[in-house]
Amino acid sequence: MHIIESGNVAAATGVKLARAQVIAAYPITPQTPLTEKLSEFVESGQLQAQYIPVESEHSAMAVCIAATSAGARSFTATSANGLLYMNEQLHWAVGARLPIVMCVANRGVGAPWTVWNDQQDTIAQRDVGWIQLYANDHQQIIDTVIKAFKLAQTVSIPVMVCYDGYLLSHTYMPFEQPAQELVDGFLPSFAPRHFLDPNNPGNFNTVTLPDIRPGVDGTMMPGYIEIRHNLQRDLRAAIDVYGDIDRDFARTFGRGGCPFVEQYRCDDAEFVAVAIGSLSYQLRDVIDILRESGMRIGVVGVQMYRPFPSQAIVEALSGRKCVVVFEKALSYGNQGALYADIKAALYPIGQRPQVHNYILGLGGREIKTAQLLDALTLSCTAPDSFGDEPRWIGLKLQE
């Protein structure tokens, strides 16, 4: 069934179809309509779940941690400073290996205060250990939410599903709502590996000593560093797991096939623009214009950012003359985070392209087609003229 609705409703519909059992809700723009829609689903009986309004984002994640530890499929959503307020609990959720799913409607971070879109909130949390998946339109939002629940449950690692505030959260687009029976066949009932069970008592997340030690049955148990090593190992393995899940999704629903990066007009491209989120779709119009002028150029949209899909990046970008990375966030004091990750992935290969970095759209600053055209034309006609510092698009005043 096709419907026309907002990106937030697409996300809420995906949560409903996934049969989440506990919803922790705290409002923050531009995420608020998502949890409001879920409250309607619960109140109307369309979703059999406990809807728990809390006093803060920190508490929202605490509720998800408790609910998942007790064996329930849990969900929450947030944006911007709300995500940052969760930071301590984000580390706890992944360290406890809890398969929580959370949507983040990307928004700039204060101070100074802004309610408009960029991606600094989730990029700033890229190293907490959560899997990060990004959606480019409403169909990808609902599909990615459903896949995220299966991925989290399979690898016992929490997942963020990220999409641009306002540009996707509040705009209306048509998308297909899958049939509930198909989702039930794709997504197994929630069965966490470890949860609180009065019939099988145990200790969870107690103080861990630096070295390995025997457990109550005499078996040697990992110390802190082994636990962190295992998380890193399983995060890297989650790349292949998500590829398998996407193929299963495509067989079931007829959509998918690009779990890591989504390419547009890249088959013969000498130059490639790279972005995360809806900007990668905006760039398609720019690429079409440049193609008409004879430039062989394409677009790559990065859809899985953590764990970083290095092999997919190399396959998409090796052999090109120039790669131009556009980012609505940066690693302060260094450069664009995606730019740095792409350079690191390409470093070992023999035919490395030139890689350029542009920062744009922070705090909702308008991104104009003419600006993207100028940036790509400059990068592709003079690829050797750039240094390693990012260039900024859309600055009005400069000291």
* pLDDT above 90 for 214: no
The pLDDT of residue 399: 55
Helices 7-17 and 138-155, interaxial angle, to 10°?
A: 40
Residue 385's pLDDT band (cuts 50, 70, 90): confident
By percentage, how much of the chain surpasses pLDDT 90?
88
**How far from each other are the two terminal CA atoms of the chain, in whole angstroms?**
53
List, for residues 330-363, the tens digit of each pLDDT value. 999 999 999 999 999 999 998 899 999 999 999 9
CA 338 to chain centre: 13
Mean pLDDT computed over every residue of the chain: 95
What is the DSSP code string of 189-234?
A: PP--SS---TTS----S----SS-EE-TTS-EE--HHHHHHHHHHH
C-alpha to C-alpha distance for 167 and 172, rounded to whole angstroms: 9
Q: Where are the alpha helices (DSSP H) in the chain?
A: 7-17, 32-44, 57-69, 80-85, 87-95, 120-123, 138-155, 180-186, 224-253, 279-292, 310-317, 337-346, 369-381
In this prediction, residue 221 has a pLDDT band, given cuts at 50, 70 and 90, of confident
43-99: per-residue pLDDT in tens? Answer: 999 999 999 999 999 999 999 999 999 999 999 999 999 999 999 999 999 999 999
Bigger pLDDT: 262 vs 214: 262
User: Which among 350, 344, 348, 329 is positioned nearest to 388, based on CA atoms?
Assistant: 344
Q: Which of 201, 95, 225, 76 is nearest to 156 (CA)?
A: 95
Window from 178-192, 234-248, 250-264, 381-395 with minimum mean pLDDT = 381-395
Domains delineated in the chain: 2-186 (3.40.50.970), 261-392 (3.40.50.920)
Q: What is the pLDDT of residues 132-154, one digit of tens each?
A: 999 999 999 999 999 999 999 99
pTM (2 d.p.): 0.96
pLDDT, average across residues 249-264: 97
pLDDT at 193 over 90: no
Residue 236 pLDDT class (50, 70, 90 cuts): very high
- Residue with structure tokens 């400069």? 398
212 or 385, higher pLDDT? 212
Helix 87-95 to helix 224-253 angle (10° resolution) is: 90
Q: How confident is the model at residue 192 (pLDDT cuts 50, 70, 90)?
A: confident
Picking from 311, 163, 144, the residue whose alpha carbon sits closest to that of residue 242 is 144
Cα–Cα dist 161/131, whole Å: 9
How would you write 301-358 as a 3-class SS string?
A: EECEEECCCHHHHHHHHCCCCEEEEEECCCCCCCCCHHHHHHHHHHCCCCCCCEEEEE
Residue 398: pLDDT band with limits 50, 70, 90: low
More confident residue, 183 or 213: 183
pLDDT, position 383: 77
According to the per-residue pLDDT averaged within each range, which of 42-56, 201-215, 375-389 is highest?
42-56
Give the per-residue pLDDT at 86: 98
For residue 35, what pLDDT is reported?
Answer: 97
Q: What is the per-residue pLDDT for 361? A: 98
**pLDDT category, 171, cuts 50, 70, 90?**
very high
